[in-house]
Each structure stands twice: as structure tokens, then as C-alpha cells.
Chains A and B, each alone.
Chain A
């Protein structure tokens, strides 16, 4: 069955460093992949979408890569700040339906 894996362990990094989060998937060949941010007690908020024919997408301090051979997406936050602390979810998409990973909790230490 289709499966998405994100590192369930929390990621702690120092302020100013680059945070890298991983999303791996199996038994699936999505045309699109999305990343969301979720703060405690709130709904997810869309960050970036990347298509299968795009290797990399950037938005301000965010960068997403999509390797369809490795079946992996990497999500980078450069010059991280304590305000970036949150849970980050990746989502793959099929016809009308989205499959979400469990998310990785990021904590940026001041």
C-alpha cells in the first residue's frame, strides 16, 4: 500500500543553522508533493508545492527538492529562527485525495 515516512523523532537545531527534513514514500509515483506547517492546536498551513518534473523549489528561506528516483523529498529551512519551530507535514497527492505523513517536529533553539 502507499506509504509516506517522515522522521518521527523531533529535530532540534541551533538558531541560524539549516534544518533539513525528510519525506520518503513507497508504492507510489505522485505527480505532486506538498509541504505544510502545523502549529500546536491549529490546522496545517500550506508552504510549498513541487511537481515531479521540478527538481527544486524555493520560497524565501524555504527550499524543497523532489527526487522521484529515490522517492524522497527534502525540506530545508535556511537561517532557521525560533519562530520556525513547528511540525512539518509532507503530503502526496493522487486524484482528489491527499496522503499525509505523520510529520516531523522541529525545534529551533535560541
Chain B
């Protein structure tokens, strides 16, 4: 199993550009999450999904959108990039019916810089 994969690994955007961060998991997990991590800060939840077709906002959703059309994929969309979105983005997935207390499996992260 590849686990959780994210693309791209690095990206530089200009202010106002848009992009999609891709996330795929092959563990058949129902729950998927997007976090951002700023230097010296903890992980902040952006959006999460409890299954295909169901998404909800986390702590810092402004400026982002998500979709979950399949169990495997959970892309994160930035519509109008701003310098405040410079961060490292992690996608994670977690178990099945009992995922409310399962471990999370994290991807390797996408380092995004907005200039």
C-alpha cells in the first residue's frame, strides 16, 4: 500500500493564482482531513470529510474549498492565493466506522509559497 500520497511536493504561486492540492489514499478509509502547519505552530484543520460526498469545515476554512467524489480522493482547492496561505499542507486519512478514535495516517505534505 502506498498509504496517503500528495502532489505536488512543492509549489510557488503568485498572488491571485489558483491551484489544487491532490490527495489520494489506498487504505479504504472513510475519514479524510486537510491540515496546514505554519512554522512553530501546530496542525490546523482546514476541512474534513466523513465519506464520499460529505465534507465539512474545520478551524481555518476561509480561502479553501474541497470535494470528495470518491473514497480515495480528497483534493483541496485554493481559488485566489494570498501570502497568508504560505504553509505546509498535510492530508490525512483515518479508519472505518470507528475512525472517531482511530489513528490518522498522514501524507508527506505539500510546501506552498505564495509570492
Chain A-chain B contacts (Cβ-Cβ < 8 Å), number: 56
**CA distance in complex: A3, B101 (Å):** 19
> Main SS of the interface on chain B?
strand
A34 beta carbon closer than 8 Å to chain B: yes
Q: Which residue of A lies closest to B44 (CB)?
A: A100
Q: Which residue of A lies closest to B33 (CB)?
A: A98
Query: Among the listed B41, B45, B104, which residue makes an inter-chain contact with A46, where contact means beta carbons less than 8 Å apart?
Result: B104
A52-94 contacts to B (CB < 8 Å): 89, 91, 93
A16 beta carbon closer than 8 Å to chain B: no
What are 14 inter-chain pairs, A to B, with CB distance below 8 A? Answer: A32-B101, A43-B4, A43-B107, A43-B108, A44-B43, A49-B103, A89-B42, A93-B100, A96-B31, A96-B50, A96-B99, A97-B48, A100-B44, A103-B42
A-side residues, CB < 8 A to B, are: 4, 8, 31-32, 34, 41-46, 49, 51, 89, 91, 93, 95-103
Name the 6 nearest CB pairs between A and B, nearest first: A43-B106, A46-B103, A100-B42, A100-B43, A102-B42, A32-B101
